[in-house]
Amino acid sequence: MPTRQAARIAVALAVAGLACMAVPQAFAGKVTECAKVGICYCVNDELKSTIRDKVERFRQTLADQRKAGKTVGYLSVPLTSAGGGNFNVNKEVAEAARKSIEKRFGAEYVYVLNPGTLEADLPKGTGADYMLMWASLLEGVDGMGDFDFVYFAGPADFARYFGFDGNNDMAKLDAYFDRRSTADPEFAKAVQGGLTKQAFRRYYALRASASVSRGAHDEWNIFRIINDKRRADSKFGTPGQIAVLFDGQGVTPPQHEAPISEGYVGKCPV
């Protein structure tokens, strides 16, 4: 009996020890990190060094492009599958939009950073992790911004990808959905997981743009904050603001300076 009782006590102590360890471990992986522009995110502590490394590599890319005499822009585009969208489709739209922007202005004069690039991948990263990375890059080393312009993807960018022509465009989405469900195993898996044709049609016909992206909301506010700082700085002033385009067009002055609702911003619970 004493031996059995000792064994039971040892097991109980081990389980209790694991239980005690579980609480701090559950919170130890998340930390609050704040950008120079004053916004904070609750991120995975283990990803901070990866994020720093990627930001440095992106900064070097921008520096190389500027050295080549190019104007550098950032593309803000929804990438998640929320709301009836599809991640892979959105990545294709993003790349098509990047090429379209560079074609419009001239690829020899403009470089556009597409956040859907493979180099931006953060394994097991959350929306907050990605936004810490982009916020750190967008604000630059001095908090005054590291881009010449930002392009927020709009309905026209998605319409171009799907070949909309103003004639029964929802039928085109139905046909696209059917074709891709048959030809693309990953898309078929998304359909099996709950993506319906009705939700897909509604999203890409009526909603798809940076307006429905939580990350894009944060990016809008980041550029607004940077431009506020630039207007107040004699080195930049109002003429030195970062240009803001939505759906291919420059935004109006009131839009340029207006804040919008936050996306992933927020500190970790204490």
**pLDDT tens-place string over residues 108-137:** 999 999 999 999 999 889 999 999 999 999
Name the pTM for this structure: 0.87
Helix (DSSP H) and strand (DSSP E) numbers for the chain: 10, 7
Element (H, E) at 180: helix 169-183
21 band by pLDDT with thresholds 50, 70 and 90: very low
| pLDDT per position as a tens digit, 204-220 | 999 999 999 999 999 99
Angle (CA) 148 150 152, round 5° = 170
Q: What distance in Å separates the CA atoms of residue 211 and residue 172, rounded to the nearest whole number?
A: 23
CA dihedral in degrees (41, 43, 49, 53; nearest 10)?
-60
| pLDDT per position as a tens digit, 144-197 | 999 999 999 999 999 999 999 999 999 999 999 999 999 999 999 999 999 999
* Phi, then psi, of 151 in degrees rounded to 5: -120, 110
Q: What distance in Å separates the CA atoms of residue 198 and residue 177, rounded to the nearest whole number?
A: 10
